[in-house]
Amino acid sequence: MKIVVALKQVIARDSVLRLSADARWVDETDAAYEINEADAYALEAGLQLKEKQGGEVIALCAGPGRVSKAIREALAKGADRAIHIALDQPEQLDSLATARLLVEAVRQEGPDLVLTGLQSDDVGAGQTGVVAAELLGWPHVTLVVGIEPAGGGLRVRRELEGGWFQYVETPLPAVLTIQSGIARLRYATLMGIKRARSKEVRRIDARELLPQNETAAPIVRLREAEKTKQTQILEGPPAEAAAKLVEKLKFEARVL
Amino acid sequence: MKVLAVMEERGGGWHPASLEALAAAQRLAAVTDGRASAAVLGADPGERAADFARYELERVCAIGHPVLDPYTADAFTAALEQAIGDLRPDYVLFPHTYRTRDFGPKLAARLGRPFVSDVTAFRTEDNGVVFTRPVFQGKFVADVRIAGDAPHFVSVQAGAFRADAVAAGSCAVEEIGVEIPAEAVRTRPGEPFREEAGAVDLTAAERIVAAGRGVKDESDLEMIRKLAEALGAEVAASRPVCDAGWLPLSRQVGSSGQTVAPKLYVAVGISGAIQHLVGMKGSRVIVAINKDPGAPIFEVADYGIVGDLYEVVPALIEALKTG
Ligand SMILES: Cc1cc2nc3c(=O)[nH]c(=O)nc-3n(C[C@H](O)[C@H](O)[C@H](O)COP(=O)(O)OP(=O)(O)OC[C@H]3O[C@@H](n4cnc5c(N)ncnc54)[C@H](O)[C@@H]3O)c2cc1C
Ligand SMILES: Nc1ncnc2c1ncn2[C@@H]1O[C@H](COP(=O)(O)O)[C@@H](O)[C@H]1O
């Protein structure tokens, strides 16, 4: 089975974020990056399918030069090769425009399956995979937490709200959007890291793929979120703050 | 502007977020000098559509076809594509549910339009509408403007608009016929099911201590258990803790897990992403312990301690023993 996994590189989770000078995005001057959480699970799901079924896993990532780190990590974990769509300021594109780019690259490969993360942790649009499926004319299944081959297609387990699940059968080719927790994530081994160096990374310029990248829903500005509650912050060293909290919970909130 | 709100059924009634989306649709219609309508889809939606006849709407559209039951993205997309062609709305609004995530962006893409998801607010600005949505897991919000031709597609975050704000009135139910060839539906959905084995009912708990990714190691959960014990509380968790297999899914709080409303909810090392918040923001008193003063959990917390949980939690256990 030929599997393309779409990986997005995002600012690392624990980063302290400040708005950029023009407030259109965040300041990335000293940012550290990582593979988007759901996409790490998509990669893991792809690698496990390949190990069961045979075939090939191709990592696909659109972004500036910095994404080569995400690509190397995917290769070190076991992806066979990668496609890097060189694109400055990926945050300027809406999901439709991003999906159009990814789909151009997918068409050149003609895979059986495309895996994406369910949602990116920066823009959080939660839709690029679904849009890509529509542009490809393929069926899709979202919120996937389990995949098994069935007949010529797949039988996937999908998460519903409030602790419910369902199985869905889909023919191939298809797009699945992967939810976190689908499998335990592996670490790259030393051997994997060594091997990654000789694996193919094909670089395509975004403008070559699609001369015009039209974005119809651009971000105008970023702002601080508004608070809905007045939080009482209990100050002081841990012991003092803890004692104050216990007081408050007992005598003010009366929940103890 | 003409605003069409797509309603979602759940368990014989309506998904709670549906009425919120309807309230948002009425507001959007009001600020753009237009009218709102509702759309209901199903195998035989006429009777259920009548539920919406008591609201101030232009009409409620009952879009019926046998292929619409059970739900599939393929059938819903085909049906709404045709209905939108008939009705020509300027905006199509959805509740930001898992179902909307599954077919809303597909529908928009079929019509070559962007889909603005998870909107919490909107306002008019420079003769246009600006939509606000969270980015960076709720650490910031982004204002987004939709360019290009109508219809514009938008989904509304759960809890952002009030269901009880839907204006009453009366309107007619209008049946809208659509044609969907059976082969348009490519996926085969099974019955929804629940994993019952070993399930914990957190909804009955009076107090809950919930651990998040700030807890770095499985063995550190012991400290969380001790805190829970000292408070007479149940232990719960955010998704990453359950994803890692440290606690069973039945202890996950949030949109994919349980929705709880205890007297006391203590969030330890939880950032407060919306999918977690929807599961616990109804709690009477919320305490957040987090080292990041900018964490969105502080937007819903009554009491907060900004600090390292590895220092704060032991101190709190101690204070509960002596206090
Ligand atoms: C469709 C969908 C469904 C989802 N369903 C759910 C769900 O049901 N439940 C759920 O919880 N999530 C759900 N999520 C995931 C959700 O979006 C967040 O990713 C998740 O809630 C984050 O968990 P967290 O806050 O524990 O981790 P993080 O976001 O990583 O936050 C960790 C927090 O710990 C703090 N911290 C770190 N170290 C320390 C320390 N030493 N002391 C004090 N504080 C510290 C950090 O400042 C940070 O705020 C869902 C996502 C999607 C897209
Ligand atoms: N620039 C990108 N490069 C590769 N994959 C992407 C990119 N942007 C989005 N994706 C994929 O689309 C998924 C959903 O993203 P989003 O719609 O932004 O929430 C991500 O989890 C990725 O799998």
HEC states along A85-132?
A: EECCCHHHCCHHHHHHHHHHHHHHHCCCEEEEECCCCCCCCCCHHHHH
Is the C-beta atom of B292 inside 6 A of ligand 1? yes
Residue B216 has pLDDT above 90, yes or no: yes
Residue A72, min C-alpha distance to chain B (Å): 24
Which ligand is the nearest neighbour of the Cα of A164? Answer: 1
Model confidence band, residue B198 (pLDDT cutoffs 50, 70, 90): low
Residue B131 half-sphere exposure toward CB, CA atoms < 13 A: 28
The rounded percent of chain B whose pLDDT value lies above 70 is 99
The answer to whether the Cβ–Cβ distance between B190 and A255 falls below 8 Å is no
The answer to whether the Cβ–Cβ distance between A164 and B117 falls below 8 Å is no
Is the C-beta atom of B139 inside 6 A of ligand 1? no
* Residue appearing with tokens 């201590």: B209
Mean pLDDT score, B180-202: 90
Residue B322 confidence (pLDDT): 87
Ligand 1 mean position, distance from CA A43 (Å): 21
What backbone torsions phi and psi does residue B273 show, to the nearest 5 degrees? -65, 150
Residue A21, min C-alpha distance to chain B (Å): 15
Residue A228 confidence (pLDDT): 75
Please tell me which of the candidates B109, B302, B320 has its beta carbon nearest to residue A134: B109
Identify the CA nearest to A74 among candidates A128, A144, A8: A8
Model confidence band, residue B197 (pLDDT cutoffs 50, 70, 90): low
Instruction: Compute the distance between CA of residue B234 and CA of residue B259 in angstroms, rounded to an integer.
Output: 14
Mean pLDDT score, B188-217: 92
Mean pLDDT score, B271-278: 96
Mean pLDDT score, B182-196: 94
Residue A203 confidence (pLDDT): 98
The answer to whether the Cβ–Cβ distance between A222 and B256 falls below 8 Å is no
Residue A256, min C-alpha distance to chain B (Å): 7
Model confidence band, residue B252 (pLDDT cutoffs 50, 70, 90): very high
Ligand 2 mean position, distance from CA A130 (Å): 10
Instruction: Compute the distance between CA of residue A91 and CA of residue B136 in angstroms, rounded to an integer.
Output: 12
Residue B168 confidence (pLDDT): 97
Ligand 1 mean position, distance from CA A216 (Å): 31
Is the C-beta atom of B69 inside 6 A of ligand 1? no
Strands A201-205 and A174-178: unpaired
Q: Can you read off the two tokens belonging to residue B294? A: 């900018």
Q: Which atom of ligand 1 is nearest to the CA of A13?
A: 30
Residue A167, min C-alpha distance to chain B (Å): 5
Please tell me which of the candidates A164, A219, A231 has its beta carbon nearest to residue B194: A164
Question: Measuring CA to CA, how many Å separate A184 from each of A31, A117, B3, B175, B244?
Answer: 27, 15, 44, 49, 7
* pTM reported for the whole predicted model: 0.97
Report yes or no: A99 at the B interface, CB cutoff 8 Å: yes
The answer to whether the Cβ–Cβ distance between B187 and A246 falls below 8 Å is no
Phi-psi region of B120 (alpha: psi -120 to 50; beta: other; left: phi over 0): alpha
Instruction: Compute the distance between CA of residue B224 and CA of residue B317 in angstroms, rounded to an integer.
Output: 9
Q: Whose CA is nearest to atom 7 of ligand 2?
A: A8
DSSP string, A40-75: HHHHHHHHHHHHHH--EEEEEEEESGGGHHHHHHHH
pLDDT averaged over chain B? 96
> Is the preceding peptide bond at B151 cis, omega within 30 degrees of 0?
yes
Report yes or no: A193 at the B interface, CB cutoff 8 Å: no
Q: Which residues of chain A have pLDDT under 70?
A: none
Residue B78 confidence (pLDDT): 98
Residues A122-165 have pLDDT tens digits of 999 999 999 999 999 999 999 999 999 999 999 999 999 999 99
Instruction: Compute the distance between CA of residue B69 and CA of residue A127 in angstroms, rounded to an integer.
Output: 23
Residue pair B297/B318 in contact (Cβ under 8 Å)? The answer is no
Residues B60-74 have pLDDT tens digits of 999 999 999 999 999
Residue pair B290/B298 in contact (Cβ under 8 Å)? The answer is yes
Residues of B in contact with A133 (CB under 8 A): 106
Ligand 2 mean position, distance from CA A3 (Å): 16
| Bridge partners, residue A61, by sequence | A84
Q: What is the ipTM of this complex?
A: 0.97
Helix (H, G, I), strand (E, B) or coil at A245: helix
Residue B135 has pLDDT above 80, yes or no: yes
Helix (H, G, I), strand (E, B) or coil at A166: strand
Instruction: Compute the distance between CA of residue A173 and CA of residue A170 in angstroms, rounded to an integer.
Output: 9
Residue pair B185/B75 in contact (Cβ under 8 Å)? The answer is yes
Buried b (16+ CB within 10 A) or exposed e, B214-228: bbeeeebbebbebbb
Q: Best of B9, B111, B135 to disrupt the A interface by mutation (most A CBs within 10 Å)?
A: B135
Residue pair A85/A206 in contact (Cβ under 8 Å)? The answer is yes
Please tell me which of the candidates B74, B255, B263 has its beta carbon nearest to residue A139: B74
Instruction: Compute the distance between CA of residue A219 and CA of residue B279 in angstroms, rounded to an integer.
Output: 28
3 state SS for chain B: CEEEEECCEECCEECHHHHHHHHHHHHHHHHCCCEEEEEEEECCCHHHHHHHCCECCCEEEEEECHHHCCCCHHHHHHHHHHHHHHHCCCEEEEECCHHHHHHHHHHHHHCCCCEEEEECEEEEECCEEEEEEEEHHHCEEEEEECCCCCCEEEEECCCCCCHHHCCECCCEEEEEECCCCHHHCCCEECCCEECCCCCCCHHHCCEEEEECCCCCCHHHHHHHHHHHHHHCCEEEECHHHHHCCCCCHHHEECCCCECCCCCEEEEECCCCCHHHHCCCCCCCEEEEEECCCCCHHHHCCCEEEECCHHHHHHHHHHHHHHC
* Residue appearing with tokens 């258990």: B225
Using a 6 Å CB cutoff, which residues line ligand 2? A 6-8, 36, 38-39, 42, 60-63, 90, 95, 98, 102, 116-117, 119-120, 123-129
Q: What single-letter DSSP state applies at residue A251?
A: I
